[in-house]
Amino acid sequence: MKTITIRKTDRNLIGCIRLPSSKSISNRLLIIRALASDGFDIAHLSDADDTLLLQELLQKIRKHKDRLSMTELDTANAGTAMRFLTAYLSMVPGKWILTGSEQMKQRPIGILVDGLKSLGAQIDYLSKLGYPPVMIHGTSLRGREIIVDPGISSQFVSALILIGPKIPGGLTLHLSGPAVSFPYVKMTISLMKDFGIHVIQERSRIFIAEGDYIPCNFTVEPDWSAAAFWYEAAALADYVDLELEGLTRESIQGDSVLSDIFRAFNVITEFTGKGVHLTKSSQPLQENQFKFNFSDHPDIAPAVITSCSMLGLHGLFTGLKSLQIKETDRLLALKTEYEKIGIKAETYSTGNLIPAIEIIAGRVTCPPGLQINTYGDHRMAMTFAPLAILNGNIRIENPEVVTKSYPGFWNDLVSVGYEIIE
Catalytic center residues: 299
Q: Taking the CB of residue 145, how many other CB atoms lie within 10 A of it?
A: 11
Distance CA 187, CA 316 (A): 28
Distance CA 209, CA 261 (A): 36
Distance CA 30, CA 218 (A): 11
Phi, psi of 39 (to 5 degrees): -75, 170
> At CA 304, angle to CA 272 and CA 7, rounded to 5?
85
